[in-house]
Amino acid sequence: MGLSEVIKYIVDKPLELKEKNLLVNRSKEIKNLNNIIKYHPFGIFGISGETGIGKTTVLNFIKCENVFSKRITLTFRESVESILYDLLYNLSKGLEKDKKLSKLAKETKEWVIEEVSTVKGFSLGISLYGSANTNLQKSKTPRFNFFAAKEKLGELLRKIVSVKGKFALIIDELDKESKSDTLQIVDALKNELLFENIITIMTLPYSIYREYKFDRLRWNESGNLENIFKDIILLEELTDSDIKELLLRRIHKFMNIIPSESLDPIIEFADGNPRDVLWMLSKVIFENIEKDILKKEDTILTIKKITNEYLTELKLTPLQKKAFELLKDLTGNRDEFLTILQQNNIKRTTAYSILNTFIERKIIITKGTKLKLSGKYKFLNL
């Protein structure tokens, strides 16, 4: 078996239930979400995390017994209105074959199709706004009937509950939207979704979790987000050992041509993100595909080549470059980092400024309670 055979085992895609053997260290979050569906009487809940961390995979493993559920993957996200129409269309389409819900589901789906077809330049899942006459099209295009669509959604949801009892609505791909657009659509629909025996779980941008976290802990002050979400579940980065296990579960048959030590630089690069480790391993394999054995030095050389290619626009001042080299191989808290910089003749205020800049640009990341240089930059030649 050659390196080319490995590619099909490291394809980056959400895992399905049948691939449970490949799932690493997400049982706690899956159990938490199943318990939310089982025990909460109603509410809107979020699942959040960095891009590629595995939100869709976790949703795929939600399986709460005795609770009727439907999974919606949003595809038509041109606007807040189109998101609502997409949700309503896919939900009604998914209920067409249910004997007790079929009539209303078909009527709702046909209503959405008719409404969308009247909007010039739109069809379900397709937008023609990319033409040269964008502004002219928008000015002549009739708007979606947002309020009627909300009423249709509310009617359909109440019917589901009356027929099926408790209902879990799971919405994926909302995390692809901006924070403002996501909050706008969720806030607009909360009156329809906050209904007895309806549990809504949706993927959310990481920026919403950050704001929600601070809102929740304000002293004697309520933030806006806690008025929308009952709770938001965070998918944290995996540990390096988790990432290694993730790889070994996929490529254990190829350890004779990919020694374990050759994976270590890729794991370091990934910073605990499954998508990043699979992407980089794929890049490394393609770069060395004619070789009989993938050596550690081959891996490092490829990662250096790619990071220097992708990070060419990183501009650092001489003092920032000095700080970069001083902190490159360290792990510690903020005070320890600042002490190292000051001991090497970087003034305290400058050290603070450089460290804050590195954190804001994610050159330095937080791992647990410690700071460290991101693996994305570890192999960079300044």
Q: Are residues 214 and 303 in the same domain?
A: no
pLDDT at 183 over 90: no
Q: Are residues 27 and 145 in the same domain?
A: yes
What are the pLDDT digits (tens) for 96-138? 999 999 999 999 999 999 888 776 454 444 443 444 444 444 4
C-alpha 89/C-alpha 85 separation (Å) is 6
What are the pLDDT digits (tens) for 7-17? 999 999 999 99
Q: Are residues 191 and 244 in the same domain?
A: no
State the pTM of this model: 0.86
Residue 207 neighbours by CB distance under 10 Å: 15
- Domain final position from 310, 343, 367: 310
Angle between helices 348-360 and 318-327 (to 10 degrees): 80
Q: Are residues 55 and 203 in the same domain?
A: yes
pLDDT at 234 over 80: yes
C-alpha 290/C-alpha 294 separation (Å) is 10
Q: Are residues 294 and 328 in the same domain?
A: no
- Domain final position from 218, 234, 250: 234
Domain that holds residue 365: 318-378
pLDDT value of residue 369 = 82
pLDDT value of residue 179 = 84
Instruction: List residues bridging with 371 in a β-sheet.
Output: 332, 366
What are the pLDDT digits (tens) for 37-77? 999 999 999 999 999 999 999 999 999 889 999 999 988 77
Asked if 74 and 87 touch (Cβ cutoff 8 Å), the reply is yes
Q: Are residues 230 and 204 in the same domain?
A: yes
Q: CATH number of the domain at 327, please.
A: 1.10.10.10
Asked if 379 and 265 touch (Cβ cutoff 8 Å), the reply is yes
Terminus-to-terminus CA distance in the chain, angstroms?
Answer: 38
